[in-house]
Amino acid sequence: ETESGAVSSQALDYGRFAKLVEGKTVLAMGPGLTTHPETTAFVRAVLEQFDLPLVLDADALNALVGQLEALRRRRARHVVLTPHPGEMGRLLGTSSAEVERRRVEVAQRFARDYEVFVILKGHRTLVAAPDGQVYVNPTGNPGLASGGAGDVLTGLVAAAVAQWGGAALGDALCLAVYLHGLAGDLAAAAQGEQALIASDVIEALPRAWKALGEKIERDVPGSYYVVP
């Protein structure tokens, strides 16, 4: 690690990281990572040296600012980016307001250009696939903008990739985003959006999963909006 306690690029030099991820099915990076120069170099090196599916959020996204070619040089077949509009704007060198104005177009083009999945967070979170398909999630509320709630989504996305990835990866990502939003809605119904914190979302996940299961049993049609 660096003097400040951040992850150092030397973690790769000594093979420690390779041993850590050996046998794993997915790697999520970003929350709490920091933007120390050695740490950002580490993120890009992981992209280029490891072939397991990657979920990139927070500072792992910041590590790609001005370095998007690292996505083209990657070894992993499947990479999922989970930016909020500010992070997406930094990646593209534009403002968050411009990202918000053209949400569908921005997510769709980025996913196509770099052959990745993009989960663009915000009001009606989008799931954009490399083939150009974009799904609009109907669940969620402004309370999910609280600190740490996005980290919960990162964990859910990683879990979905691990369990249902591969050919059904797009469906798995939609499931993760839907559950995250539904858990947020259930938590907000109990205590209000303004008081919502990340741990409330986690605690509501079992209820969200149960509610989704009951919906499936009743054969209720899917609620995702598909953008042509």
Q: How far is CA 19 from CA 23, 77, 183, in A?
A: 9, 20, 35
Render pLDDT for 26-80 as a digit per residue (tens, 0 to 9): 999 999 888 988 889 999 999 999 999 999 999 999 999 999 999 999 999 999 9
CA 164 to chain centre: 15
Q: How far is CA 168 from CA 1, 15, 113, 202, 203, in A?
A: 37, 32, 21, 24, 27
Q: How far is CA 9 from CA 2, 12, 41, 43, 89, in A?
A: 9, 6, 6, 8, 26
Render pLDDT for 194-225 as a digit per residue (tens, 0 to 9): 999 999 999 999 999 999 888 776 665 556 55
**pLDDT value for 164:** 85
User: Cα dihedral sign for 38, 44, 47, 53?
Assistant: positive
Minimum mean pLDDT range among 3-7, 54-58, 80-84, 104-108:
3-7
**pLDDT value for 38:** 87
Q: What is the pTM of this model?
A: 0.91
Across the range 121-142, mean pLDDT stands at 96
**pLDDT value for 12:** 62
The full set of domain ranges for the chain reads 142-221
**pLDDT value for 5:** 64
- pLDDT band at residue 148 under the 50/70/90 scheme: very high
